[in-house]
Amino acid sequence: MLSIVRSGGVRGLASYLMQVEVDAANGLPSFVMVGYVSSDTKEACERVRVALKNAGYRIPPMHITVNLSPAAIRKEGVSIDLPLAIGLLVSMGEIPEEKLDRVLILGELGLDGKVMKVSGTLPIVTAAKAAGITTCILPAENATEGAVVGGIRIVGVSSLQETIAWILSEESVRNELIPPTTVDLNKLFARANEICTEDFSEISGQQAVKRAAEVAAAGFHHLLIIGPPGAGKSMIAKRIPGILPPLSEDESLEVSAIYSVSGLLGRDEALITRRPFMSPHHTVTEAALTGGGSIPRPGIISLAHRGVLFLDELPEFSRTTLDLLRQPLEDRKIRLARTHGSCTFPADFQLIAAMNPCPCGYYPDRNKCRCTDSEIRRYLSRVSGPILDRLDICIEAKRIDVSELSQAKKNENESSADIRRRVLAARDMQQKRFMGTKLRFNSDMGPSDIKRYCPLGSKEEAMLSRLFHTLDLSARSYHRIIKVARTIADLEGAPVIETKHLSEAACYRMTDARYWSNKEGD
């Protein structure tokens, strides 16, 4: 008898619906799986056989053929265990086929019949809803994740026996047997807006760096902080997520889909509601940063999508690793090609980097720095010109004076909540400016958008022309100064860019000119 059970899978971040076709017929006893399947997927046959035996179902000696359709897509993973077991029971006549009308099933099976968590649930449930599926049977650990979609019944099951009991029960008692999982999105987002534990009020001094961090947060600009050890570079960087605008619902679903495919959503974590903050060690491999595998999985830069990628001790990263960021910083996505196909992952992150100005960390203080000029040049050259050119803001963190550490000074420090209010006001201006477009922040603007949204007066044009020649700017840096100036104007509530805004934006390019006098070509 032939049975068809609906299931699903993911390839990259794209989900697809799949039919698990099971045919059990008389013939030489065997269990064959076809449909362009990987070795780990083929192992489902043995897991299902033992799980059904331990659940009290004996599989008679039959010729069993399983086809996973569509056959053109390579199947990876273990999410077809549970639908395969149910399909086999339908073929054996244990479950009526009509009980599975418009039902999708996902889940890995243990040998004892336990249903275990799988990856990629969120995008699969989203595709199922679009296809008219009304019920999704998921592992209990994935139920909250699937319930985020809304408008579809989510049934979280813990075992094969529980799944069979729910399918065989009458519709009137199903909700009593396993109550559908629901999620209150408003409560989730309200919890996300709670004050962060790490606050800017804990940072003494460094007013210029804190101002640069505020501008970076308001326009989602990339930021580089240069300074000696102990100046507070890492402290400031780690507090930037606390002043960023909150994730919108669409952004949250987008980020959560990445974490779902990566298997990083916890049992009680239905959505990622805070902007991600990823801080890899400088020994990170290229594959871990960009993603990889025979069927590519998201890397760290994709896990930082819509959030912050913090690279501490920037020159300690290998130059090859850093240069991998050049294309994602520009295109806001990364494409990985592998033997079995290619995948495109989003990589729209805010890069925050921190570094010392020399190997010992104390240049240009020659009372402490003992590095030679050649050592300093060699150290700085680890960060290539094209990477510097893609950083909107470069600021120097000076050594903290003891007077700034007094209790009176600490009491004057602004909190993250105060800074965040200004950032949100600037964000509102950008939202109104870019309404009806795909742009979200000032940093998203391209050259044509700058011409449209950032008109300059004659005084501002003349000033920018002088800056272009004085600082020996590239075309990319020229546009970045305008974008940063637009963000500074937004923080003041100014309708147009003025010379003072351009002056401050230009100051954020002075530091890289000071340390890297000889820029490298792109």
Which has more confidence, 454 or 385?
454
Domain 191-515 CATH superfamily = P-loop containing nucleotide triphosphate hydrolases (3.40.50.300)
Cis-peptide into 386, omega within 30 deg: no
The pLDDT mean for the chain works out to 90
* Least confident window among 101-110, 290-299, 442-451, 502-511: 290-299
Q: How far apart are CA 132 and CA 134, in angstroms?
A: 6
Where are the domains positioned within the chain? 2-183, 191-515
Q: How far apart are CA 491 and CA 22, in angstroms?
A: 62
- 3 state SS of 346: strand
Does the pLDDT at position 470 exceed 90?
Answer: no
Question: At CA 429, angle to CA 425 and CA 433, rounded to 5?
Answer: 165
Place 329 in a pLDDT band, splitting at 50, 70 and 90.
Answer: very high
pLDDT at 298: 92
Q: How far apart are CA 41 and CA 38, in angstroms?
A: 5
pLDDT at 448: 94
Place 351 in a pLDDT band, splitting at 50, 70 and 90.
Answer: very high
Task: Tell me the two tokens of residue 393.
Answer: 């803001």
pLDDT at 193: 64
CA 517 remoteness from chain centre: 35
Looking up tokens 């974490």 gives 259
pLDDT at 411: 60
Please name the fold of domain 2-183: Ribosomal Protein S5; domain 2 (3.30.230)
Give burial (CB, 10 Å; 0-12/13-18/19+) of 436.
Answer: exposed
pLDDT at 12: 83
pLDDT at 385: 86
Average pLDDT over residues 278-284: 95
* Least confident window among 73-77, 240-244, 275-279, 501-505: 73-77
Place 294 in a pLDDT band, splitting at 50, 70 and 90.
Answer: low
Task: Calculate the alpha carbon distances from 324 to 294, 332, 384 in Å.
Answer: 19, 12, 11
Average pLDDT over residues 45-66: 92
pLDDT at 510: 77
Which has more confidence, 469 or 485?
485
Does the pLDDT at position 265 exceed 90?
Answer: no
Place 519 in a pLDDT band, splitting at 50, 70 and 90.
Answer: very low
Average pLDDT over residues 330-335: 91
pLDDT at 522: 41
Average pLDDT over residues 4-25: 93
The reported pTM is 0.89
Does the pLDDT at position 520 exceed 60?
Answer: no
Place 184 in a pLDDT band, splitting at 50, 70 and 90.
Answer: confident
Q: How far apart are CA 257 and CA 145, in angstroms?
A: 10
pLDDT at 409: 60
- 3 state SS of 372: coil
Average pLDDT over residues 376-395: 91
Q: How far apart are CA 165 and CA 182, in angstroms?
A: 21
Does the pLDDT at position 95 exceed 50?
Answer: yes
pLDDT at 509: 83
Q: What percent of the chain has pLDDT over 70?
A: 95
pLDDT at 268: 75
Does the pLDDT at position 83 exceed 90?
Answer: yes
